[in-house]
Amino acid sequence: MTYAEVVEKIAALSTEKQRKFTEKLTPTADKIYGVRVPDLRALAKEIAPEADAFLAAEKRSLEEKMLHGFILCYRKRRFEEFRKDILSFVSLIDNWAVCDCVAATCKTIAKNKAAFFGDIEDLAADKRPFVRRFAVVLLLDFYAGEEYAPRIFSLCERMARGEYYVNMAIAWLLSVCYVKAPAATKAYLARCTLEEDILKKTERKILESFRVSEEDKQNIRKYGVKY
């Protein structure tokens, strides 16, 4: 399937209503067609076996970048091939939507967590904010829990550099850890050196969670997350 044929399919799935909605939520210099994420996922599954020409082409829209990532996640092949492709894909990530939607689709990582964690550390050290956010979202999707909690907290300390989209993702990650590894996360938050902005965002995310006890929420409202 040619690049032009894939773009034609993207355009056919677009609506003006969705385009306006996406434009409001996603700051990007790329063209936005206005395609719902479930429709892009379905298209990716449909064309994944015959998408080589599309994958090799320059991407000119938000939907093309997201579709590229989805295809890499849905293709059936060995983990090392997936790993190589997804690490190359991160150069295309320049907004939160492509970052978060593709990260959540990397389910191959769930079966290869130990093998991929070194790559997470490399992504977390990258100079590009959205590559670091990609690392954070992969952590919250596949690693949040007791086993990886200490290493997650160490990475959070290293990634926090005052960038809005990275800070928001770190707060989101810590709120998930608060649910899945409560004792370790409470202990970390009490002694962490994260900037106040991240702590405030973490507090808000925890208070919004339906999986946190009312007692914990009352303590956070009274004392903050460092209680």
Query: How large is the average pLDDT for residues 6-26?
Result: 97
Give the pLDDT confidence of 164-206 residue by residue, as tens digits: 999 999 999 999 999 999 999 999 999 999 999 999 999 999 9
Q: Considering only CA atoms, which of 159, 104, 151 is closest in space to residue 130? A: 159
Longest CA–CA separation in the chain, Å: 59
DSSP 112: S
124 in Cβ contact with 155 (< 8 Å): yes
CATH 1.25.40 region(s) of the chain?
A: 112-227
Q: Across residues 110-125, what is the average pLDDT?
A: 97
Span 120-130, pLDDT tens digits? 999 999 999 99
> Which class is domain 112-227?
mainly alpha
For residue 162, is pLDDT > 90?
no
pLDDT at 209: 94
pTM recorded for the entire structure? 0.95
Q: Residue 219 pLDDT more than 80? A: yes
In angstroms, rounded to a whole number, what is the distance separating the alpha carbons of residues 58 and 3? 9
pLDDT at 42 over 80: yes
Q: Which among 118, 110, 96 is positioned nearest to 172, based on CA atoms?
A: 96
58 torsion bin: left (phi>0), alpha (psi -120 to 50), beta (else)? beta
> Residue 57's pLDDT is what?
97
Query: Residues near 87 by Cβ (< 8 Å), separated by ≥ 6?
Result: 119, 123
At residue 160, does pLDDT exceed 80? Answer: no
Q: Mean pLDDT over all residues of the chain? A: 96
Mean pLDDT to the nearest integer, 62-71: 98
First to last CA, the chain: 57
